[in-house]
Structures are given as structure tokens and as C-alpha cells.
Amino acid sequence: MHETAYEITTLTPQQPTTHPAMLPTEIPPGVQMVTLPGGIRTLAYTPTQAPPAPPVPVSQPIPTWAKTTALLTPTIGGGVAAAGIGLSYAAPGLIAMSEALWAAVALIAAAAIGVPALLRFGRSVAGPGRGTTHITQNITASGMFGKANGTINHR
């Protein structure tokens, strides 16, 4: 047993009690009703148990996908920045190129409409006495890879 520097004294049955017993709700925190080995009940301070230590956090390894993403982020950002700078330098040329493409489209449309009109106009100016020329072409070949022979007839 532990030897203590204090002595617990309690009321013995021979001594009359002068104060009434305490209700359980009146007992202050840290104090409990205890029964001593001799059967006597008394109030005593009880040692409070230390709260359990919080669990020690275990460090988790960083997932591979997170490492890869973290390493690729500056690369992708740099690529986007370089593309933006390149587009800012290329913008005047792209604008000029789009205007040139629209001009080419207009030229193709004008040629598609104008060339047949010029051909009709040229035939009508040549005069009504001139007829049209018919060309007949006959081609013959023997076998799949045989030499082809042909004749052209003008009328």
C-alpha cells in the first residue's frame, strides 16, 4: 500500500452527526461517495483519469496521379501561355489571310458565273452562219492491260 502524508478521518457511529447528508446532485465535481474497508461511507476526491491520447495521424503517401498532375500543371500552363503569345503575334497575319480567302472565294464565284456568260457571248458574236463542231471518238482495247487504239472524227 501507499503511505500518504494525510489521514482520512470519518465519523464513527459513536459521534452524532450534526449536519444532514448531502444529496447526490450537491456533490461537487471530482468528489465521489466511497465506501471504506470498514464499511463507512464518506466523500473523497478521486483521481480523474486522463482523457485518452488523441490518435497520432499517420502520414498518407501522395497518390501517383496527384504527383503527375502537379508536375504537368506548369507545363500545360506554359504551353497555353506560349500559344496565346503566338496567336497575338499571328493575329494580323490571320486577319489578312482571312481577307485573302474571302477575296479568293469571290473570285471563284465570279469565275463560275462569268466564264459561262463570256462563252455564250463569244458564240453569239461569232455569227449565226457558223455551226457547232461535233467530235466523235472511238476507243478500243483488248484485255485489261491491252494497248488502246482510237479514232477521232470531226464533223
* Residue pLDDT, tens place only, 69-97: 999 999 999 999 999 999 899 999 889 99
pLDDT at 106: 94
Give this prediction's pTM: 0.28
**CA-to-CA distance for 133 and 150, rounded, in angstroms?**
19
| pLDDT tens readout for residues 115-146 | 888 888 877 665 555 667 777 888 888 888 88
Neighbour tally for 135: CB within 10 Å: 8
| Mean pLDDT on 52-76 | 89
